[in-house]
Amino acid sequence: MLRIENLRKTFSGNERERITAVSDVSFKVEAGQLFTLLGPSGCGKTTTLRCIAGLEHPDSGKITIDGADVFDDTTGVLVPAYRRAIGMVFQSYAIWPHMTVRENVEFPLTVVARRHRLAAKGRTRLVNEALELMGMGAYAQRPSTALSGGQQQRLALARAIVGKPKLLLLDEPLSNLDAKLRERMRFEIKRLQTELGVTAIYVTHDQGEALALSDEIAIMRDGVIVQQGNPNDIYNQPGSDFVADFIGSANLVFGTCQVAGRVGELIEVELEGGVRASGSATCDLAEGDPVVLVVRPESVKTTPLAEGERAPEGQLIGTVRARIFLGESVDLLVETLGRELRIRVPADSAPYRPNSSVALDISSRRGLVLRDDRTLSLSNKVEDELGLATA
């Protein structure tokens, strides 16, 4: 349905140098899928989306929508945005303030090429359909300036789908909503997309949104895609510490590989504090390689320790720094090895008081072992972005 090959887009910066927003991006989206571009802010997601929409003129590469080339630098093809027949929801919603709700939704139908244009009656039917689908039927005659944030969002969606586009582009559509509404709209968007069977490209920096909605996720960083896969793979098989860090609130613990092993094998690791643990390797590793053990919050076994009590052999000792009640479970921030780990325990487990000591068993074999190819600055950056180290 959509195919992007070696897309590159640079902007002229302030001085002589150019900013590379998208350096080399390729991906393919099957019809009917919801494909998500996920990554930290500034990684080039919006720019990629705008290139697809035709709002940016890429430097090089090729974009094919539904079998037709819309951009190809080798042949010079560049189809303008208004001929690409796509629907788009903007981050700012871009509701036209001088039109009513109905006029906003009807606009795309009134500006298509004359030979495709419907008569007034057909337009009204489509507009009503789109408004009903978004639960906005009652607001049709309102001035579009008299809408709440959530209603504006629905209006923007109705406008994007009214022309029955084959491709729907959404740029952080939920980022301007409050938390509760965001949760609800997430499901509405998914429902809408499956009901219409439209192919959608969804841009977000929120991993929760991406995991909940997507058929396929591409994780971007500094203008390139670092990993692509379905949500399950991305969550369970992160290919790098960056992805592991970004995708879940995983803990990263550094250490060295004890015995060489191949992809998928269980590998023993000695961690910074001398404690041993094991996990499955995500790549071939040799003895002595620096590695990162990815430990999920829910796979650490915790036992409270009495004052002055020592941790059992092979376990870490830590101090509870904070306790976050989440309803069914409780997250503990535990300081150990000079960093903080996030650990999830059932809400009905023993009370962990702040500043009490706990023993941590991270040898559960459910962790992942990645090669530690970080540069220092990089890992700091990842941690800063996620607020893990200092949370």
Ligand X SMILES: Nc1ncnc2c1ncn2[C@@H]1O[C@H](COP(=O)(O)OP(=O)(O)O)[C@@H](O)[C@H]1O
Structure tokens at 256: 């060295």
The reply to whether 248 sits near another protein by the rule CB under 8 A is no
- Does position 84 bind another protein by CB under 8 A? yes
Binding partner of residue 212 among another protein, Mg ion, ligand X, none, CB under 5 to 8 Å per kind? none
- Which option in Mg ion, ligand X, another protein, none does residue 42 bind, with CB closer than 5 to 8 A by kind? ligand X
Residue 11 contacts another protein per CB under 8 A: no
Residue 120 partner contact from another protein, Mg ion, ligand X, none using kind-dependent CB cut-offs of 5 to 8 Å: none
Distance (Å, whole) CA 318 – CA 335: 5
- Of the candidates 189, 182, 126, the residue with the CA atom closest to the CA atom of residue 156: 189
Single out the residue of 20, 33, 46, 315 in contact with Mg ion (rule: CB under 5 A): 46
Which three-class secondary structure state does DSSP give residue 47? helix
Decide if residue 92 touches another protein (CB under 8 A).
yes
- Minimum distance from CB of 92 to another protein (Å)? 5
Nearest one of 24, 9, 42 to 381, comparing CA atoms: 42
Measured from the CB atom, the residue of 29 and 38 that comes closer to ligand X is 38
Q: Which stretch binds Mg ion (CB under 5 A): 5-13, 18-26, 45-53, 356-364?
A: 45-53
Is 205:146 a contact under the CB 8 Å cutoff? no
CA distances 2 to 29, 30, 217, 260, 321, Å, are 5, 7, 15, 42, 48
CB of 46 to Mg ion, least distance (A): 3
In terms of DSSP bridges, do strands 167-171 and 357-361 run parallel, antiparallel, or are they unpaired? unpaired
Q: Kindly give, in sequence order, each residue whose CB lies less than 8 Å from that of residue 283, ignoring residues fewer than 6 positions away.
A: 263, 370, 371
Dihedral class, residue 329 (left if φ above 0, else alpha if ψ from -120 to 50, else beta)? beta
Of 42-50, 112-120, 278-286, 366-374, the segment contacting Mg ion by CB under 5 A is 42-50
Q: Which residues bind Mg ion (CB under 5 A)?
A: 46
Contact residues for another protein, defined by CB under 8 A: 53-55, 57, 73-78, 80-88, 90-92, 94, 96-98, 107-108, 111-113, 159, 163, 169
